[in-house]
Amino acid sequence: MAKAFASTADTKTQPARLTQLAENVYGYISDYDPNTGFIVGPDSVMVIDCRATPKMAREWIADIRTITDKPITHIFLTHYHAVRVMGRAAFTDAHTVMASRGTLDLIRERGQQDFESEVRRFPRLFDAVEEVPGLTWPNVTFEREMTLWWGDREIRLEHLGRGHSKGDSVVWLPDDRVLFAGDLVEERCALYCGDAYLREWRETLDRVAALNARVVVPGRGSAIIGEENVREAIRLTREFLDDLITLTQEALDKGADLKGAFDHVYAVMTPKYGDWPIYEHCIPFNVSRAYDELRGIQDPIIWTAERDIEMWNALQG
């Protein structure tokens, strides 16, 4: 039987929980849906990503209101993926939306296609998607890094290099050594590599590791607490990339086409990672991108709803 497309068969709601990570710093964390977080400042609140739809965001805001009634004035986007940015309209007090230059470029270039494609891949996460008024646009961008001082707290927004996408950036709180990693680091959840720069991602992970975080909020999976667990999560993320790159290269060396490469990678990676959430969803996209990158296609080809289905039927059908 053909496998259900992407995550269309994943329909069970996952509650997210507020998790305090440091004074005035919280994660909003579920089993394996995209994580978010927020920082309470002297006068206002900054959210890190804004969920997939205004409805999903309002549910989160109701939980934020159990902690603080300060206005949510700042939004930081870790990267451009629709599942993390399309809830923006719910944040009616937010006057500042910050992102890296690379993220702005991607929203301009492929934000609409990504939105249409993501809604079809994972409908559960796009609850009441019809309320989304349009793409989410940053109005403050930075090339490599930007620092905010909220009271005496230093908040660093850093683009540490390309990886999961061209624009990935993290929130780093140096005093508390808390890191919001976006999708650069996952905690025992499959990596999505459809928009990735796979070899550069490994170098970017070196810079993530060099921060020496004590707490990491991964893109998906539970909060990672303690230096040793942080190191292990980064190691596992890297190993997933290593396996994908090495196995795809092996297939290419034998002259395999995309389907041949997929079959080879799938056969070796599935026993190791098959029980990680969203593995079946991600692996065809991952091999497609690895196959392109290793053949010299520098930038990820834009995914559209049509290209998604065509690829899926060819590889997972």
Q: List residues binding Zn ion (CB under 5 A).
A: 81, 183
| Cα distance between residue 317 and residue 191, in whole Å | 21
Q: How far is the CB of 120 from Zn ion (least distance, A)?
A: 16
**Which lies closer to Zn ion via its Cβ, residue 195 or residue 293?**
195
Q: How far is the CB of 212 from Zn ion (least distance, A)?
A: 24
Q: How far is the CB of 84 from Zn ion (least distance, A)?
A: 6
Residue pair 30/15 in contact (Cβ under 8 Å)? The answer is: yes
| Cα distance between residue 270 and residue 286, in whole Å | 13
**Which lies closer to Zn ion via its Cβ, residue 183 or residue 293?**
183
**Which lies closer to Zn ion via its Cβ, residue 44 or residue 293?**
293
Q: How far is the CB of 66 from Zn ion (least distance, A)?
A: 27
**Which lies closer to Zn ion via its Cβ, residue 97 or residue 278?**
278
**Which lies closer to Zn ion via its Cβ, residue 267 or residue 301?**
301
Q: Which residues pair with 36 in a beta bridge?
A: 28
Q: How far is the CB of 149 from Zn ion (least distance, A)?
A: 28
The helix or strand, by DSSP H or E, that contains position 118, with its residue range, turns out to be helix 101-121
CA distances from 199 to 82, 171, 181 (A): 24, 22, 18
